[in-house]
Amino acid sequence: MHHLHRPLLAAALATSLAASASPQIRITSQRRIPFCPPTTAVEFIAPMPNEEVAVFHGPPPQSWGVILEVALAPTATQPTGVFEGQYIPSPGLAAAVPTDLNGDGVLGDAHPAMPALQVTMDDGIVVNGTFLLPGTNLASLFEMIGSEIEHGGDQTTMLTWVVTPAFMIVDVNADMATNLFATVNGVTDTVHVRHGFDPKYAPCSLQSTPTVSIFGPDWISTVDEMVTPGDGREEFLVGVEVRIPCWFDPATNPPTPTPLDPIPGPGGMAMTGNFPMVPGPGGHPAYPTLDVRFSDDYFDAPTGSFVPGGVITGGTCATIWGATGANLAFAFEQASVASWFGVDGIANLAPVLADDQMIYRFTMTGDGTIFDTDALPGEMLITATIETECNVFSITNVRVKHRPDVITTDP
């Protein structure tokens, strides 16, 4: 049964009563319900506004992640040609000349899976030895991670680009920052990223509390019950972000962001950059205290590893409670380490507890197979934990829904 809004219902009742009392009265006008046109939205999930990245010089190398979320109403005339389950791994990087997909010598070709997308920056960038001028369309450098059906019938597509040290950003306007622009169907989002220097990490001196969050999937996100490369089903993205309070060392120029309590890595030092692909289950090669678990069984296609599902129910310091299954952290890519000023906008220049942030970001694409095997039929729980050098512990989780491959209509 269709329900009328109260103003429409009142008008309908009034008209009906008037017509029964005076049959000669004719309705000369009707109030029409407005049509809901297809919508478009684009948003940078990462980097965050005013995030800081290195200029990619000198050891250790540093990487950062650029992640876009694009929401489109899936209509038959959808101009981007994006459909659920589509997956293309960075066609612009696979081309003989980066971003020249058709070989005509013109750089900045559109992404074949989303030709309406334009992604540019106001700085130059060197990609595999090719210099791309500011304003060049970089959309083809993105990997299409997947899509999901959101509220109102809009289809949300996730795209990610890990800017490794193999890329070199050229600060052509010498403003020590890079502005990124993403445009789809006339809708634009912009993010401002500051340039910095590779940080030098100091041993733990004071305890601090890390904050762990999961971005990408949220409680309304959905993944196909079986996710396998090339089977026409949906890819998905899982991102884990860790924030550690830091201070800016005034002995360097510019001041170096230094975590109060670093995440331990090989040699007891926190590390940046990507890592070689390794089999699992197991810990992250550069961050052994990172622990990520799916409650459902998972087969990791790139490494051929089967990971039994499990959860972590809690923990204190160096002890976790109720751990079942196995650690999926080996499958995550360390995509960025960055820092920014805190809520007061002022750099803290002493090693005290403060609101400045050091950010560690880990991402994993859904390029394996998920088996719905846990006690949550049709759902999956993702748990992420991490510890710092002083054994400070943080944990978070999120529930993600399974569903069959479906198509929704316009709102």
Query: Is the model's pLDDT at 13 over the cut of 50?
Result: no
Q: What is the C-alpha to C-alpha distance for residues 205 and 214, in angstroms, rounded to an integer? A: 28
| Of the ranges 29-38, 48-57, 375-384, the best mean pLDDT one | 375-384
Q: What is the pLDDT at residue 38?
A: 54
Q: Is the pLDDT of residue 260 over 80?
A: yes
For 150-203, give the DSSP string. Answer: -GGGPEEEEEEEEE-TTSEEE-TT-SSEEEEEEEETTEEEEEEEEEE----PPP
Give the number of residues written for the chain.
411
- The first and second tokens of residue 171, run together, are 């600060």
Q: What is the pLDDT of residue 146?
A: 61
If we measure between CA atoms, which residue out of 236, 228, 229 comes closest to residue 371? Answer: 228
Write down the pLDDT at residue 54. 64
Phi-psi region of 244 (alpha: psi -120 to 50; beta: other; left: phi over 0): beta
Kindly compute the dihedral angle of the four CA atoms of residues 228, 230, 231, 236, in this order, to the nearest 10 degrees. 50
Predicted confidence (pLDDT) at residue 101 exceeds the cutoff of 90: yes
Residue where the block lists tokens 């999956």? 380
β-sheet bridge partners, residue 224: 403
Regarding predicted confidence, which is higher, 256 or 93? 93
What pLDDT, in 10s, does the model give residues 327-337? 999 998 887 67
The alpha carbon dihedral of 91, 96, 102, 107 has a sign of positive
Higher pLDDT, 12 or 308: 308
Query: Taking a C-beta distance cutoff of 8 angstroms, is the pair 272, 265 a contact?
Result: no
Instruction: Using a pLDDT cut of 90, give the percent of the chain over it.
Output: 22
Residue 134 has a pLDDT of: 97
Q: Residue 227's Cα: distance from chain center in Å?
A: 18
Of all residues in the chain, what percent carry a pLDDT higher than 70? Answer: 69
CA dihedral 220, 224, 227, 229 (to 10 degrees): -100
Q: pLDDT class for 25, splitting at 50, 70, 90? A: very low
Q: pTM here?
A: 0.68
Average pLDDT, the chain: 76
Residue 370, C-beta contacts closer than 8 angstroms, at least 6 positions apart:
223, 224, 225, 226, 227, 294, 296, 297, 298, 380, 402
| Whether the Cβ atoms of residue 120 and residue 136 lie closer than 8 Å to each other | yes
- DSSP character at residue 329: G
Tell me phi and psi for residue 6, to 5 degrees: -55, -45
Is the pLDDT higher at 127 or at 78?
127
Segment 359-380 shows an average pLDDT of 84
Query: Quick one: pLDDT at residue 18?
Result: 41
Give 156's pLDDT tier (boundaries 50, 70, 90): confident
Q: Phi and psi dihedrals of 17, rounded to 5?
A: -65, -45
285: number of Cβ within 10 Å? 16
Provide the pLDDT for residue 56: 55
Question: Mean of the pLDDT values across residues 139-148?
Answer: 79
Euclidean distance between CA atoms 181 and 257, whole angstroms: 27
SS3 89: coil
Task: Tell me the average pLDDT across 49-53.
Answer: 70
Mean pLDDT in residue range 76-98: 79
Closest CA relative to residue 294, chosen from 324, 335, 333, 334: 324
Residue 338, pLDDT above cutoff 50: yes
* pLDDT of amino acid 367: 76
Q: How many other CB atoms are found less than 10 A from the CB of residue 405?
A: 13
Top-confidence range, 6-15, 23-32, 120-129, 215-224 = 120-129
**Which residue's structure tokens are 């006008």?**
29
pLDDT for 17 equals 36
The whole-angstrom separation of Cα 380 and Cα 334 is: 23
Output 220 or 140, whichever has higher pLDDT. Answer: 140
pLDDT of residue 46: 81
